[in-house]
Amino acid sequence: MTLSQPDVFIYNAAIITPQITLQKGWIHLVNGLIHTIGTEQEYDIYSSKLGADTEKIDAHGSWVLPGFIDMHVHGGYGHDFMDADAEGIDAITRFHGMNGTTTMLATTVTAAKEELDHVLQRIGSYRNQTMPYAQLLGVHLEGPFINANWCGAQNPAFIVPPQPDWLSDWTQRFPGLIRMQTLAPETAGALEYIEALVEHGIIAALGHTDANYEQVNSAIEHGLSQAVHTYNAMRGLHHREPGAVGAIMSNPAILGEVIADGHHVHPTAIRLLVQAKGPDGVLLITDAMSAAGLGNGEYELGGLAVIVRDGVARLKEGNSLAGSTLTMIDAFRFVVHQVGVSVEHASLMASGNQARQLGIDQITGSLQPGLQADVLLVNSEFELERVWIGGRSIQ
């Protein structure tokens, strides 16, 4: 199936580029790529040469942003990556695509190896076809090599120590598919496993961990470079033992994810994280589960019963937070309105940092000529007006 990519010319927009925000600027999308970005002064000459079939959009001062990249998302719109077939994956990627995510990692939960094998097989097969909505870059394995004392909404029945033979099997059978794995760095064999992840080009992330400050910094020296949902499911900051949170905040070699929904982390704690690490050290994620996009009710995450009330997902037993119902545009809006982050810095935290971390910053993640046309048109209230993925409008 070939998906059409008509030329698009957006003008009278506030365009965020890596260097500057262009007021009353314009951007031209051609053949799925960003062709040219220009200023108000260049508009008349350039626009006069556009073809008659080019779609021309007056942005009326709205923002043009790079598409969001979500490195930690379990599902949405009634489907979960753990068991979704191709139709279910379409539903997940369409829902999140309609909410600004143009690239994502399909995220698993702690499960038996056989079940994880099946997820990798299904995601690998899906990626071999044309993906009509948000693009699945690969898989984020969240677990199963985590700490049972901080399992949160992960099923403790399947938690095991790091298994190097599993990694060897996965990388041989599914080369390049696993892009990130979350583990507890204090578990037996974790440091060697982190080194093996790095050797295979896989991001090593800590999460669901009881690691102290020294253990996290030691893991960073072995190649650990990301923290999943900072503050949640990890040892917190204490003035005599800085804990995992203290290590994340103080060590520039690790990027910190944050779930900016106002339920997982207080806005002031997000502000402190951004102040400590700088906007280039923070990653907005959704950690969205299957309930995202739907209403209150009963759902499931990794075989565990979940109840959603007022948009907050919690385990039916134990009441732990169980992922979220967040979207990336909601997270973006939250950090601007509630945390006080600038639009430019919020864009970096939602797109540019992820692209750099994943090694795809020469393909997507910012608005520059030659890059993939993953583009968002967002109004002054930070509501999405249009989404283009590879130059294709999905709205």
Task: Please report, for the domain that includes residue 383, its CATH number.
Answer: 2.30.40.10
pLDDT per position as a tens digit, 270-308: 999 999 999 999 999 999 999 999 989 999 887 888 899
**Per this entry, what is the length of the chain?**
395
Whether the predicted pLDDT of 41 surpasses 80: yes
364 neighbors 349 (Cβ within 8 angstroms): no
How many structural domains comprise the chain? 2
Residues 380 and 322 in one domain: no
% of the chain surpassing 70 pLDDT: 99
Q: What is the pLDDT of residue 3?
A: 57
CATH of the domain at 156: 3.20.20.140
246 to 142, 214, 216: CA distances (angstroms): 22, 10, 9
Q: How far, in Å, CA of 110 to CA of 121, rounded?
A: 17
Q: Residue 317: pLDDT band by 50, 70, 90 thresholds?
A: confident
Residues 93 and 50 in one domain: no
The residues pairing with 298 across neighbouring beta strands, listed in sequence order, are 307
Average pLDDT over all residues of the chain: 96
163 located within any domain: yes
Place of tokens 């030659």: 370
131 neighbors 176 (Cβ within 8 angstroms): no
12 located within any domain: yes
Residues 221 and 258 in one domain: yes
Residues 35 and 135 in one domain: no
2 located within any domain: no
Q: How far, in Å, CA of 285 to CA of 258, rounded?
A: 6
Q: Which two tokens stand for residue 278?
A: 């700088």
CB-CB neighbours of 30 under 10 Å: 18
Q: What is the pLDDT of residue 31?
A: 96
Residues 12 and 128 in one domain: no
Residues 332 and 371 in one domain: no
Q: Which residues constitute the domain of residue 119?
A: 68-358
Residues 121 and 238 in one domain: yes
What is the rounded (10 degree) CA torsion for 35, 103, 357, 186?
Answer: 180
Residues 220 and 112 in one domain: yes
Q: Which two tokens stand for residue 151?
A: 């399992």
Q: What is the pLDDT of residue 349?
A: 98
1 located within any domain: no
Residues 378 and 347 in one domain: no
Whether the predicted pLDDT of 86 surpasses 80: yes
3 located within any domain: no
pLDDT per position as a tens digit, 210-222: 999 999 999 999 9
Q: How far, in Å, CA of 100 to CA of 121, rounded?
A: 27
227 neighbors 237 (Cβ within 8 angstroms): no
Whether the predicted pLDDT of 65 surpasses 60: yes
Whether the predicted pLDDT of 251 surpasses 80: yes
267 located within any domain: yes
Q: What is the pLDDT of residue 1?
A: 41
Q: Which residues of 324-349 are buried (b: 16+ CB within 10 A; e: fewer)?
A: bbbbbbbbbbbbbeebebebbbbbbb
Residues 183 and 96 in one domain: yes
Report, as an integer, the average pLDDT of 160-178: 98
Q: Residue 257: pLDDT band by 50, 70, 90 thresholds?
A: very high
Residues 235 and 129 in one domain: yes
**pTM of the prediction?**
0.97
273 located within any domain: yes
Whether the predicted pLDDT of 2 surpasses 70: no
Whether the predicted pLDDT of 67 surpasses 50: yes
% of the chain surpassing 90 pLDDT: 92
289 located within any domain: yes
Which of 33, 94, 98 lies closest to 387, judged by CA? 98
Which residue numbers are catalytic?
287
- Name the least confident of 7-21, 312-326, 358-372: 312-326
Which of 229, 235, 248, 236 lies closest to 322, judged by CA? 229
Residues 33 and 156 in one domain: no
Which of 235, 203, 384, 353 lies closest to 285, judged by CA? 353
Q: How far, in Å, CA of 295 to CA of 303, rounded?
A: 20
Whether the predicted pLDDT of 4 surpasses 80: no
